[in-house]
Chain A
Amino acid sequence: GQSLEQPSEVTAVEGAIVQINCTYQTSGFYGLSWYQQHDGGAPTFLSYNGLDGLEETGRFSSFLSRSDSYGYLLLQELQMKDSASYFCAVSKDSSYKLIFGSGTRLLVRP
């Protein structure tokens, strides 16, 4: 089996920086992905880490440590529109089988 752990809720202030952590336990690990989902919407792809280290895409960065089975998503210069749910997901046994965590609900306050 596999398990992914991430906080259920995080609250932050507009303009601030927030980090959403994800720890995982799975065999056949290929990589860690992050997705954003607004209420009533579909998930959208944010980032992917196949190797250890930091990946940066604009205001969003994602980090992976395979030895610690740990990753995080870093959101900088928070905006109100960043209020959404964020899911980490592991690629298990292959690059195409994607297993999701239960998600972190981010609330950005003025």
Chain B
Amino acid sequence: NAGVTQTPKFQVLKTGQSMTLQCAQDMNHEYMSWYRQDPGMGLRLIHYSVGAGITDQGEVPNGYNVSRSTTEDFPLRLLSAAPSQTSVYFCASSSSLGAGGGYTFGSGTRLTVV
């Protein structure tokens, strides 16, 4: 009964480095999304996916890439890390009910870019 699993939980990167944040869900959910949350602020949508092979941009997609080769996995790639990307990143998934059924969130990845 894992739900949505994000790895790593914490990461420190140097400016210019690249990395992939992993997200996996075991609920056979169709919809998956990535959000970032800055201190004292709401969540901003980075990218989302409505199924394997289908992704789309959210509110703040610049500097991030995603792919969805399987239903279970939705990794987020930072191409060249910048200090402005220091944030907490949440992955979330939902069944075909979408928002009506509620999104299940992972525990987050706390990323610091120095």
A contact residues vs B (CB 8 Å cutoff)? 30-31, 33, 35, 41-45, 48, 50, 87, 89, 91, 94-103
Contacts and interface: CB of A to CB of B under 8 A. Distances in A.
Contacts of B64: none
Contact of A94 (B43, B90, B92, B98): B98
B98 A91 contact: yes
Nearest to B110: A40
Contacts, number: 66
Contact of A102 (B42, B59, B90): B42
A45 B102 contact: yes
Given A42-B90, A98-B45, A100-B44, A33 B31 contact: no
6 contacts: A50-B100, A96-B30, A97-B56, A98-B33, A100-B35, A100-B44
Contacts of B104: 45
A14 B65 CA distance: 45
A97 B100 contact: no
Most B-side CB within 10 Å, residue of A41, A45, A95, A98: A98
